[in-house]
Amino acid sequence: AQSVAQPEDQVNVAEGNPLTVKCTYSVSGNPYLFWYVQYPNRGLQFLLKYITGDNLVKGSYGFEAEFNKSQTSFHLKKPSALVSDSALYFCAVRDGWDSGGYQKVTFGTGTKLQVIP
Amino acid sequence: EPEVTQTPSHQVTQMGQEVILRCVPISNHLYFYWYRQILGQKVEFLVSFYNNEISEKSEIFDDQFSVERPDGSNFTLKIRSTKLEDSAMYFCASNPTGPTEAFFGQGTRLTVV
């Protein structure tokens, strides 16, 4: 079974500082990893994904994530946080790639990012 | 940019009533999903739909739930007799074939009173 853990309920960071939101995963095959962001009273917006290739993937709004197979982690990072980055961030995983395109994922519990002015 | 649209954005219903949540997936997508998020909790998978039938469902998706794609564009989630614990944000998602992410709608907030 696929699972993902986000160990921090909340991360506080000062504006302009680098941020990291942690995610670890568990799959039996090759992981297929995503980050989504949820702003207050809004839906889930896709940020970035890892399928294969470079361990550092770049996504929307200046975010990037580093895939680390040995540590089974996929931490979300940004070099300089903005107040507008304050939101709920979800890591999600799919165990392997379905060649037909079925993309049911399992979400983590979410991490609330608070960027302090 | 194409997007998944959901209506209504907020629905209030009395316990025991039937509700239908509506979604219009992106037009060339083949796979459709419903997820829900109870306030303050994680996003949970409910059901997936492909080729006009349910391909997978979770233990949450009991006999009170059903899905339909009645006209080739809409994708609906019906709850026959709502319970207080059905109060949640319901997200529709879809994706085309291939190694891509699922695209989520803005959600429908269901409040059962």
CA dihedral B87, B88, B92, B93 (to 10 degrees): -150
Question: So what's the pLDDT on residue A99?
Answer: 66
- Residues of chain A in contact with residue B26, where contact means CB-CB under 8 angstroms, are none
Q: Which of these, A21, A23, A34, A24, lies nearest to A81 by C-alpha position?
A: A21
Question: So what's the pLDDT on residue A52?
Answer: 84
Q: What is the DSSP string of chain B?
A: ----EEE-SEEEE-TT--EEEEEE--TT--EEEEEEE-TTS-EEEEEEEETTEEEEE-TT--TTEEEE--SSS-EEEEESS--GGG-EEEEEEEE-SSS-PPEE---EEEEE-
Give the chain A residue whose CA is nearest to the CA of B103: A46
CA of A81, closest CA in chain B: separation in Å?
24
pLDDT in tens, A59-74: 999 999 999 999 999 9
Q: Which of these, B92, B69, B80, lies nearest to B6 by C-alpha position?
A: B92
pLDDT in tens, A27-62: 988 889 999 999 887 789 999 999 888 999 999 999
CA dihedral A69, A71, A76, A79 (to 10 degrees): -100
pLDDT bin (cut points 50, 70, 90) of residue A96 is confident
Question: So what's the pLDDT on residue A53?
Answer: 85
Mean pLDDT by 10 residues, chain B (113 residues): 91 97 94 93 93 93 95 93 96 88 93 97
Question: So what's the pLDDT on residue A97?
Answer: 67
A107 vs B42, B56, B101: nearest CB: B42
3-state DSSP assignment of residue A100? coil
Q: What is the DSSP string of A34-99?
A: EEEEE-TT--EEEEEEE-SS-SEEE-GGG-EEEEETTTTEEEEEESS--GGG-EEEEEEEEES--T
CB contact under 8 A, A46 and B103: yes
CA dihedral A111, B105, A92, A76 (to 10 degrees): -50
pLDDT in tens, B40-65: 888 999 999 998 999 999 999 999 99
- Contact present, B65 and B49 (Cβ < 8 Å): no
Cβ-Cβ contacts under 8 Å between A and B: the total is: 59
